[in-house]
Amino acid sequence: MKNVFTGGLLLPALASAACISSGDQNTINSAFQSGGQNAVVQLCPNALIQITDIVKFTADGQELSTQGYPTDSSRATIQVAVGSGASTLISARDLNNIRIKNIQLEGNRQNAGFLSGGDANIIVGGVTSGGQVISNVASRNPRSWSCLHVIGSGQDNNPCRNVTLTNNDIGPCGQSGTDPASGDGLWADGISLDCTASLVQGNTITGSTDGGIVVFGSPGSTVTGNTVKSSSQYLGFGAINLVDDEYDGSYAGVTVTNNNIIGDKLFNIGIGVGANVWSFNDPSALSGPVTITGNTISGQVSFPIAVNGWTNGITVTGNTVSGVTSPKSSFADASQCSQAIQSVFNSNANLIYYPAGISGSQNLQSGFVATPGNATNFLCSSLPLPNSVTFQPGQLTVVSDSGPFATLHNVIAQYQGDNNLVVLQAGSPVWASGHTLPNGGNCGSPSGCQLKFGSDGNFASFFNGVQQWSTNTSGSGKSLVVLNQAPWIQVKDGSGNVIWDTTKNQ
């Protein structure tokens, strides 16, 4: 080990070496460049380094850490500067035996904003023969999709291997929803692992909004003793995911043991296993053998363990789900889910599988409940949904095909790409404005159609600025109400009298 500031000649102990107390990414990057292989670059305790670009490891065996290896808030912080185009704080991919230890990484999404096209806070892995260690690192508020990405090598015959992630404190990562401006998801993973024979142990992930620990195949990897807790504010999709089809869908030798999963506001899925569990369907079943034992799942989790789309070996034993909140309707809503999923939600099942969706050897603990039919997309549950939503004049403006503008218990209202405004109950249309564009026209892309409850109190649709349909309530409309029962949509005046509803159309 060589220390870049002392040359390692006279001062033998790291503790007495100089540390970086100020500067930016260039300060750290020049230390790596001049130090070369095995350079140890240390930040001073409590240092705050603002960056406008990536901190980049440059050679095998390099280390970035806080001097003295504290584990508390005195760990040095690297932070994305507001106004900069930076999102990734540290990249150490394609190198061997690098170490990132005892520092804090602040992606600063709350001040610098979500960055469309950005990347994970930390990127390691890649073309590496291994020995990478990330420990006692805090990573939070990424401007993009993940707090920590162990990236695959992209080479089937030379996969990423042996990355160790231990005792890190991760999160919050992302927030729920979609950025209306870019259409990009605002969610982010805690740890995204795409690397074989790796270890994810003793990490605490709090407030991931996409997957807490997402295992992309990664044959031979171990996920053990981690705590994954959902946000107290936002929906989290899944705590531990085995749902993606990297490595040709192989999870051979993956073990997920003794993890503690806690749904605070809401996790849709505790441990998701298989090709047909997430919002997409992989082209074929994912394969084991995989072992999922000794995990504890508690709190507000809609589907604690769900399995569909697996082959070649699965063991799910000794997991504890007795602490999952019941009934599920007290914290979540599954009215937008398929009938098969609503059935297991309504019966408060915690261990769920689709028997025809598993082939090969299987050892499932007692208490597994079969879904009545091929239940796919367990991400369908949501925070409890209201029975109505009210908009004030000027509060609602949507373009066509932008998703439902009202999502209610069992009902959605949406504005289609043909200018038709429709209300669906349990997936079936119950009312439509009927004013599609003439000659089977559609709104085009980008859409020329707009639906709004204008500041004048009129609820109207427009194509290229020309009004197509309206409730004729300009001047008198003071609120727009969307309901999950007939008459579905109402416009009210200032005294609360209904001056238009769907029975007055056509």
Q: Smallest distance, Å, CB 464 to ligand NAG? A: 20
Reduced to 3 states (helix: H, G, I; strand: E, B; else coil), residue 178 is strand
In sequence order, which ranges of 105-150 are alpha helices (DSSP H)? 109-112
- Choice between 114 and 303, CB closer to ligand NAG: 303
Which CB, 86 or 100, lies closer to ligand NAG? 100
**Nearest of 259, 133, 266, 282 to residue 203 by alpha carbon:** 259
- Taking the complex as a whole, the smallest distance from the CB of residue 309 to ligand NAG amounts, in Å, to 6
Beta strands 314-317; 362-364: pairing state = parallel
d(CA 170, CA 142): 10
Q: Measured from the CB of residue 352, what is the shortest distance to ligand NAG in angstroms?
A: 14
Instruction: Decide if 279 contacts 269 (C-beta within 8 A).
Output: no
Minimum CB distance to ligand NAG smaller for 231 or for 468:
468
Strands 169-170 and 138-140: parallel
Look up tokens 């937008």; give the residue.
336
Contact in structure between 42 and 66 (CB atoms under 8 Å): yes
Whole-angstrom CA distances from 382 to 236, 260, 345, 398 are 10, 22, 12, 22
The vertex-222 CA angle with 169 and 275, nearest 5°, equals 100
Nearer to ligand NAG, 336 or 371 (CB): 371
Contact predicate 269/381, CB 8 Å: no
Nearer Cβ to ligand NAG (78/275): 275
Q: Which is nearer to ligand NAG, 360 or 504 (CB)?
A: 504
Q: How far is the CB of 25 from ligand NAG (least distance, A)?
A: 25
CB of 312 to ligand NAG, least distance (A): 15
Q: How far is the CB of 84 from ligand NAG (least distance, A)?
A: 33
Q: Which residues contact 260 (CB under 8 A, 6 or more apart)?
A: 226, 227, 228, 295, 296
Of 87 and 168, which has the nearer Cβ to ligand NAG? Answer: 168
- Among 112, 114, 103, smallest CA distance to 122 is for 103
If the CB atoms of residues 99 and 265 are measured against ligand NAG, the closer one turns out to be 99
Binding site for ligand NAG (CB under 6 A): 130-131, 133, 162, 164, 276, 281, 356-357, 374, 376, 470-472, 504-505
Shortest CB 502 distance to ligand NAG, Å: 9
Classify the phi-psi angles of 248: left when phi > 0, otherwise alpha if psi is within -120 to 50, otherwise beta: left
- For residue 162, the minimal CB distance to ligand NAG (Å) is 4
What's the CA gap between 419 and 461, in Å, rounded? 7
| Least distance from ligand NAG to the Cβ atom of residue 232, Å | 34
- Choice between 130 and 289, CB closer to ligand NAG: 130
- Rounded CA separation 388/409 (Å): 8
